[in-house]
Amino acid sequence: MKIEKSRALFSEAQKYIPGGVNSPVRAFKAVGGDPLFIKSSKGAYMFDEDDNKYIDLINSWGPMILGHGHEGIAQAVREAVDHSLSFGAPTRKEVEIAELITHMMPSVEKVRMVNSGTEATMSALRLARGFTGRDKIIKFEGCYHGHGDSFLIAAGSGAATMGIPNSPGVTKGTAQDTLTAPFNNLKAVQDLVDRNNGNIAAIILEPVAGNMGCVLPQEGYLLGLRDICDKNGIVLIFDEVMTGFRLSKGGAQELFGVRPDLTTLGKIIGGGMPVGAYGGKAEIMDFVSPAGPVYQAGTLSGNPVAMSAGLAMLTYLNEHSEIYKSLQDTTSRIAAGYRLSLDKLDLKYTINHIGSMISMFFTDQPVFDFDSAKTSNTELFGRYFRGMLERGVYLPPSQFETYFISTAIDNSIADEIIRANHEVLEELTV
């Protein structure tokens, strides 16, 4: 595979951009090799600067549910650009998208637009603290909520561990307000709540985790968290930046029938433009400025171009709920094809999938939390990743990420992915 132009750009980029990229995972450090510089995309495919073609299983880390270059979204953006790039004043589109979100996700009675998932989770956390008058939060090992200081906390061994910052620059003071527990372990959460009686403002989680690879909540887990929050006056926050409007029209909360108090949303509601949002019970959201005392603002929040893209995307999803069955069918087809190859090659790797999210872990153990995800052989994953890339399949460059399936991936493209997977696994076993 020729990647000279990407290589030259990466070397140039490193002179001017820290590590040569604007978000760390793009540097391919976890898998080795040089990152590819992408020039264009269409449907299920991306093309790099050297004109190599890849089936895209990253899909911009979630938002391209409808594949690249969806005409309805592109047209909405073109029309919006003709009016202006930004006003800094309220617009009709903001009202329309807020109304649509509350319709599609009924636990969200009011919603505030921001510019990224990170902003959404940071703001939701401040709101939960302002609303409850408490400081501490519980997050889960292996869940990612963006790069806000409160979330960059290493999970300690065991639920009782006080937070230890895992990025220089996060103060001990901030870290000690973040308590961590293993995913899918209700007892660990109950213990933390008991030990910090009356001090927990919020429990935040990805209801289906995508950031330790795809990890599903076990039966009763989300309801159990709902129950703990109800009994202890804790705000339950579902971070649906990846799952909202992807796993179903109403996100993971609709799929599992559990209503959080607040929900954070991100990239998907911008259809690929930089957007985030947080919303939930009106009683809580009315604490946000200017209705209430919790301050949060943004010059470009509710940007008209981003709102137009998001509105076009959500309107399409709202009117075409049949796509969720078809996304699930494509994902199940890929999972079945992978399993067949694993059987033929006598390999025992673990596949987790739900809706249009799927991961294969290079471990023979079930993966239900971060510790079990970490039993994966990441060196083997790196070789697998590079083998898939050489065969034109672009996976997320880390074992601890989910692949995202788009509606542009039809059965024949799914079969190409299955074939590439078989060839690479075969190559790795000799």
Q: Give which of 129, 132, 123, 175 is closest to 151, Cα–Cα.
A: 175
The residue from 267, 324, 338, 349 that is catalytic is 267
Residue tagged 């200017």 (tokens) = 290
CA distance 295 to 112: 12
CA distance 353 to 356: 7
Nearest approach, Cβ of residue 209 and ligand PLP (Å) = 8
Q: Is 407 in the site for ligand PLP (CB under 6 A)?
A: no
Q: Is 211 in the site for ligand PLP (CB under 6 A)?
A: yes
Tell me whether residue 406 or residue 421 sits nearer to ligand PLP (CB atom): 406
CA distance 246 to 250: 8
Q: Give which of 312, 287, 263, 296 is closest to 63, Cα–Cα.
A: 312
Tell me whether residue 121 or residue 363 sits nearer to ligand PLP (CB atom): 121
Tell me whether residue 214 or residue 285 sits nearer to ligand PLP (CB atom): 214
Question: Which H helix or E strand runs over 5?
Answer: helix 4-16
Q: Is 401 in the site for ligand PLP (CB under 6 A)?
A: no
Are residues 402 and 396 in contact, defined by beta-carbon separation less than 8 angstroms?
Answer: yes
Return the percent helix, strand and coil in the chain, to nearest 5. 45, 20, 40
Tell me whether residue 243 or residue 363 sits nearer to ligand PLP (CB atom): 243
Nearest approach, Cβ of residue 117 and ligand PLP (Å) = 2
Reply yes or no on whether 48 is catalytic: no
Nearest approach, Cβ of residue 297 and ligand PLP (Å) = 17
Tell me whether residue 26 or residue 281 sits nearer to ligand PLP (CB atom): 26
Nearest approach, Cβ of residue 145 and ligand PLP (Å) = 5
Q: Is 118 in the site for ligand PLP (CB under 6 A)?
A: yes
Tell me whether residue 55 or residue 204 sits nearer to ligand PLP (CB atom): 204
The residue from 45, 54, 144, 316 that is catalytic is 144
Options 6, 41, 52, 121; binder of ligand PLP; rule CB under 6 A: 121
Instruction: Give CA torsion, residues 61, 181, 124, 143, to 10 deg.
Output: 0
Question: Which H helix or E strand runs over 61?
Answer: none
Report the SS3 class of residue 35: coil
Options 146, 224, 270, 280; binder of ligand PLP; rule CB under 6 A: 146
The residue from 48, 56, 239, 261 that is catalytic is 239
Nearest approach, Cβ of residue 44 and ligand PLP (Å) = 21
Closest residue to ligand PLP, judged by C-beta, is 117
CA distance 349 to 339: 9
Instruction: Give CA torsion, residues 381, 384, 385, 389, to 10 deg.
Output: 180
Binding mask 150-189 for ligand PLP (x = CB under 6 A): ----------------------------------------
CA distance 280 to 261: 6
Binding mask 125-144 for ligand PLP (x = CB under 6 A): -------------------x
CA distance 102 to 286: 15
Question: Which H helix or E strand runs over 265?
Answer: strand 262-265
Nearest approach, Cβ of residue 262 and ligand PLP (Å) = 13
Q: Is 305 in the site for ligand PLP (CB under 6 A)?
A: no
Reply yes or no on whether 149 is catalytic: no
Among positions 213-272, residues that touch ligand PLP (CB under 6 A) are: 239, 241-242, 266-267
Q: How many residues bind ligand PLP, per CB under 6 A?
A: 17
Binding mask 31-70 for ligand PLP (x = CB under 6 A): ------------------------------x---------
Question: Which H helix or E strand runs over 349?
Answer: none
Question: Which tokens is 147 given?
Answer: 């790069």
CA distance 411 to 416: 9
Give me the helices (H) in 320-429, please.
Answer: 322-344, 370-373, 378-390, 411-429
Reply yes or no on whether 267 is catalytic: yes
Which region among 29-37, 102-110, 204-212, 409-417 touches ligand PLP (by CB under 6 A)? Answer: 204-212
Q: Is the dihedral of CA 73, 74, 80, 84 positive or negative?
A: positive
Q: Which residues bind ligand PLP (CB under 6 A)?
A: 61, 116-118, 121, 144-146, 206, 210-211, 239, 241-242, 266-267, 276
Active site members: 144, 239, 267
